[in-house]
Amino acid sequence: MDKKLNIGTIKILTVVGLLLGFVVIFLGFNDKGADVASKNTPFEIVQKWELPPILREISAITWLGDDKIAAVQDEEGTIFIFDLKSNKITDEVKFAGPGDYEGLTVHGKDAYVLRSDGTIFEVKNFKSKKPKVMVYNTPFSTKNNMETLVFDESRNSLLLAPKDRTMEADDYKGIYAFSLDTKELSEEPILKIYFNDEMLKPFEHKQDYKTFRPSGMAIHPKTKDLYILEGTRPKLLIMKSNGDIKGVFPLSRRQFPQPEGITFSEEGVLYISTEGKKNSYGMIYEANLK
Query: What is the pLDDT, as a whole number, of residue 280?
Result: 87
Q: How many helices (H) and strands (E) does the chain have?
A: 1, 20
Residues with Cβ within 8 Å of 201's Cβ and at least 6 positions away in sequence, in order, are none
- Give CA–CA dist 223/200, Å, rounded: 22
Query: Which residue positions in the chain have pLDDT lower than 70?
Result: 1-39
- Give CA–CA dist 232/207, Å, rounded: 14
Q: Where do the domains of the chain lie?
A: 1-40, 44-289
Q: Are 174 and 189 in contact (CB under 8 A)?
A: yes
Rg (Cα) of the chain, in Å, rounded? 22
Query: What is the pLDDT, as a whole number, of residue 166?
Result: 81
Give, in order, the Cα–Cα distances in Å from 24 to each of 15, 17, 27, 204.
14, 11, 5, 29
Residue type for position 171:
D
- Beta strands across the sheet bearing 245-250: 214-219, 226-230, 235-239, 245-250
What angle is formed at CA 240 by the lines to CA 234 and CA 243, rounded to 5 degrees? 90
Query: What is the pLDDT, as a whole number, of residue 6?
Result: 53
- Give CA–CA dist 109/124, Å, rounded: 7
Query: What is the pLDDT, as a whole number, of residue 144?
Result: 94
CATH number of 44-289: 2.120.10.30
- Give CA–CA dist 97/82, Å, rounded: 21
E strand or H helix that includes residue 173: strand 172-179
Query: What is the pLDDT, as a whole number, of residue 149?
Result: 98
- Give CA–CA dist 91/95, Å, rounded: 13
Query: What is the pLDDT, as a whole number, of residue 86?
Result: 97
- Beta bridge pairs of residue 271: 263, 286
CB atoms within 10 A of CB 40: 12
Query: What is the pLDDT, as a whole number, of residue 87?
Result: 96
pTM confidence score: 0.86
- Give CA–CA dist 265/17, Å, rounded: 52
**Beta strand 283-289 with 270-274: parallel, antiparallel or unpaired?**
antiparallel
Query: What is the pLDDT, as a whole number, of residue 167?
Result: 73
CB atoms within 10 A of CB 240: 13
- Give CA–CA dist 156/105, Å, rounded: 13
Among 238, 147, 154, residue whose Cα is nearest residue 190: 154
CB atoms within 10 A of CB 117: 17
- Length of the chain counted residue by residue: 290
- Give all strands (DSSP E) within 125-160, no chain letters: 132-136, 150-152, 157-160
Half-sphere exposure of 290 (CA within 13 A, CB side): 9
Residues above pLDDT 70, as percent of the chain: 86
